[in-house]
Amino acid sequence: MALKRRKLLLGGAAAAAVAAWVARPGDHGGGHNSYFSQLAGTLSGLPAMPMLVVDRQRLRANLAQIRRTAHARLPLRVVVKSLPALGLIDEAQAAWNTPRAMLFNAPQLALIAKERPATDMLLGKPLPASAARWALEQPSGDGFDPARQIQWLIDTPQRLAEYRALAKARGQAMRVNIEIDIGLHRGGVESEAVLAQMLDTLREEPLLPFAGFMGYDAHLAAIPDLAGNRASAQAEAQRRYGAMLALAQQRLGGAPPGWTLNAAGSPTFHLHDDQHAPNELSVGSAAVKPSDFDKPSLAELQPAAFIATPVLKVMDEFRLPIGAQAVSAMARWWDVNERRALAMHGGHWLADPVSPAGVSASGLYGPSSNQQVMVASPSVPLAVGDWIFLRPRQSEAVFLQFGAIVVVEEGRPVANWPVFPASA
């Protein structure tokens, strides 16, 4: 009986070993595909350093597709934080035939007022009154009129009171756009009673003309489309927006054609038509399509922005520092995709490697912003000086980490677009 039990145990151990062997990861490695091979050739004459690359052909194709997808009667507003370079903004405004932009902080507002003084501006985030004051004190471009061209976003009666004091101190009108909560619950006026109080203040204060509403609805794209949940959330967002608009019409008397009724964003602009309250849509990130925007509704868009960085060192055997050699030996044995190591220039970006296939960050070595260690199988034919390409997960969080965008088109670099100074 003991011998039989021993045979069973040995048999079970052998089966477990075979199962473990079968479960080992396969070889995911390979070279650059044709697109990235061409891109590597395009960059070969440039100084080998980390750079942000934008494919202008893809960018323009995305911009055209966004305009085709959005309802034809709804103008588009460029989200500046997601396209933080004058070259990107110029491309979007030209493709969408719009002077409209949405700003999210005081430094970028001041920059656009100076460099693109014909821009129609709407704040996408309520700024403290002190930040608004600072922005208004900065030099602007010829012909820029903040009283006419800026809509300041207000979310509470307290902030409205601060802006009222600022407008009186400056003796200058400040157009007010009220942020309303239509379901996201991240900010904005939620109560009609509170909104009525704010509208009454605006009615009494000539220095604070009412300009419209902003209702951000990004939550609609994140709701699982099960049992009608998404349709129900969208209907509720439309109902809330309509109710707030009706209250404004009642409190202020009519709805002047100039009111801005803003909604949407890259994940949801496709959901809107001209049968409900919003009369314009905001879009930004979709133009370059970072990986956080890999959504079914944006499937026709192509990634247009990549980080390119050179390989500084190739190690044919992945090794952890002295003292942890056994761990790296086990990793090499278990996973063929951790046999080699590559030290690249820079790293720890909010981005993921996309080419060559099979390159990944070493979870064992840990991240580094200076010289990150990547792992790969022997099937990845990278040498010192070759390019690794990564795809940003977001644009606003990554683009500002690079001094300028290298713009490529038809296999050659055609421009350098400086990004905005770092700001939050």
Cα–Cα distance for residue pair 350/352, rounded to 1 Å: 7
Q: Is-contact 421 107, C-beta < 8 A? A: yes
Please indicate, yes or no, whether residues 259 and 324 belong to a single structural domain of this protein: no
Query: How many domains are there within the chain?
Result: 2
Please indicate, yes or no, whether residues 112 and 186 belong to a single structural domain of this protein: yes
Would residue 18 count as lying in a domain? no
Please indicate, yes or no, whether residues 108 and 240 belong to a single structural domain of this protein: yes
- Render the burial of 24-61: b for 16+ CB within 10 Å, e for the rest: eeebbbbebeebbeebbebbeeeebebbbbbbbebbbb
Q: Tell me how many helices (H) and strands (E) the chain has.
A: 13, 17
Please indicate, yes or no, whether residues 133 and 254 belong to a single structural domain of this protein: yes
Residues of the chain below pLDDT 50: 8-10, 13-18
- Give the end of a domain, one of 278, 311, 343: 278
Please indicate, yes or no, whether residues 267 and 310 belong to a single structural domain of this protein: no
Please indicate, yes or no, whether residues 316 and 392 belong to a single structural domain of this protein: yes
Find tokens 């942890």 and name the residue.
324
Would residue 402 count as lying in a domain? yes
Please indicate, yes or no, whether residues 219 and 308 belong to a single structural domain of this protein: no
pLDDT value, residue 419: 98
Question: What tens digit of pLDDT does each residue of 34-66 get?
Answer: 999 999 999 999 999 999 999 999 999 999 999
pLDDT value, residue 35: 97
Would residue 16 count as lying in a domain? no
Would residue 352 count as lying in a domain? yes
Please indicate, yes or no, whether residues 209 and 79 belong to a single structural domain of this protein: yes
Would residue 290 count as lying in a domain? no
Q: Is-contact 387 38, C-beta < 8 A? A: no
Determine the structural domain holding residue 413 and report its residue range. Answer: 26-51+302-418
Burial level of 13, CB count in 10 A (0-12/13-18/19+)? exposed
Q: Is-contact 140 146, C-beta < 8 A? A: yes
**CATH number of the domain to which 400 belongs:** 2.40.37
Q: Is-contact 201 164, C-beta < 8 A? A: yes
pLDDT value, residue 166: 98
Would residue 255 count as lying in a domain? yes
Closest residue by Cα to residue 303 from 188, 390, 401, 375: 390
Would residue 44 count as lying in a domain? yes
CA of 344: how far to CAs of 49, 180, 311, 367, 370, in Å?
10, 46, 4, 11, 9
Would residue 334 count as lying in a domain? yes
pLDDT value, residue 143: 98
Say whether the peptide bond before residue 99 is cis (omega within 30 degrees of 0).
no
**CATH number of the domain to which 250 belongs:** 3.20.20.10
Rg (CA), the chain: 27
* Residues β-bridged to residue 189: 180
Please indicate, yes or no, whether residues 241 and 107 belong to a single structural domain of this protein: yes
Helix-helix angle 229-252:192-204, to 10 degrees:
30
- Structure-token pair, residue 355: 């080419």
Q: State how beta strands 305-315 and 340-344 pair.
A: antiparallel
Please indicate, yes or no, whether residues 228 and 352 belong to a single structural domain of this protein: no
Please indicate, yes or no, whether residues 165 and 215 belong to a single structural domain of this protein: yes
Please indicate, yes or no, whether residues 353 and 263 belong to a single structural domain of this protein: no
